[in-house]
Structure 1
Amino acid sequence: LLDFMKPEFDLKEELLKCIHRYHSNGGATFTDMERNFDRYGYDYHGDCSLVFEAVGGGKPVYFWTGWNKEAFEALAQLVAEGRVQRRYTGPLPYYYEGRGLGLPVIHDIDGIAAGGWLPIGFAITPAGEAELEAA
């Protein structure tokens, strides 16, 4: 009976809906998406990281870590399809949730070369908005 009552979970669509819900707050953070995953019982935990590897020997820039490959790939597909966009959020939304990465925080473009954690969120694009309205 529980399987019958549980709604079908489409990872990309649920990410899109979650990001849309937080759009007016400047976008959804990774912790917002994790709460959404928990709500649906989706096990996003893993050993993957979303990292920008600098060319020319610069240090890596981490966006988030601790998800499985499937979850990161679904989010990357939404960005590649132009349905959502990345946005710098600063660390405060993450600290409010009691989360963050144990790396130096990158606050501006000048800090990227030194590597560390670049706290980002995701916002819906006009294309993503139109798709949700049509559904």
Structure 2
Amino acid sequence: MKSEQKQEVKQAVLEYIQSHNGVTYVEVEKIFARMGYDWQDNYEMRLPGHDNIVLWSGWSPEAFQIVGDLMHEKAIEPNQTSIFVYLADGKALPFPIAKKIFQYKKPRWLPIVFNAWREDEC
């Protein structure tokens, strides 16, 4: 993907998340599809430091990088959510749910949504 195209997709994802609360990976996939972005592949995003906590799968490394860049830039933030949010979107991962952050022996799914970054008030 050309740098300019990637930037357009990244901007579209950011604008969608800024105007909607609790955006799922499924909703981001719909943005990718609408923009003609080839995001599908066999990679998984795992929680850093927790090899058996899967956040999402079926994307390319470049697609995960778009979301990762937005988090790194503090434009969006991930928040844990209920599996029912994903079931409402019609898609879920085939793993047991990670009920807490823990070093599991087998893969678990930690459902998350994205929201616009907000500074916590102290």
What TM-score does the superposition give when structure 2 sets the normalisation length? 0.81
Q: Aligned in 2, Cα 1:53/1:74: closer, same or farther, shift over 3 Å? A: closer
CA contact (8 A) 1:48 1:65 kept: yes
Runs of 4+ in 1 over 2 A off after TM superposition: 52-55, 112-115
Q: Deviations over 1:68-87 (max 9, x none)?
A: 11110111111011111010
Aligned counterparts of 1:53 and 1:78: Cα–Cα separation in 2 = 16
- Between the aligned residues of both structures, percent identity stands at 27
Q: Runs of 5+ in structure 1 lacking a partner?
A: 1-7, 128-135
Higher-Rg structure is: 1
The number of residues matched between the two structures is 112
Q: Deviations over 1:7-26 (max 9, x none)?
A: x6612111101212322xxx
Aligned counterparts of 2:67 and 2:89: Cα–Cα separation in 1 = 21
Matched, 1:48 2:43: yes
How far the C-alpha of 1:53 sits from its partner, in A, is 5.4
Q: Which residue of 2 aligns with 1:71?
A: 63
How far the C-alpha of 1:118 sits from its partner, in A, is 0.1
* RMSD between superposed Cα atoms in Å: 2.0
What TM-score does the superposition give when structure 1 sets the normalisation length? 0.74
- Larger helix share, 1 or 2: 1
Q: Which residue of 1 aligns with 2:11?
A: 13
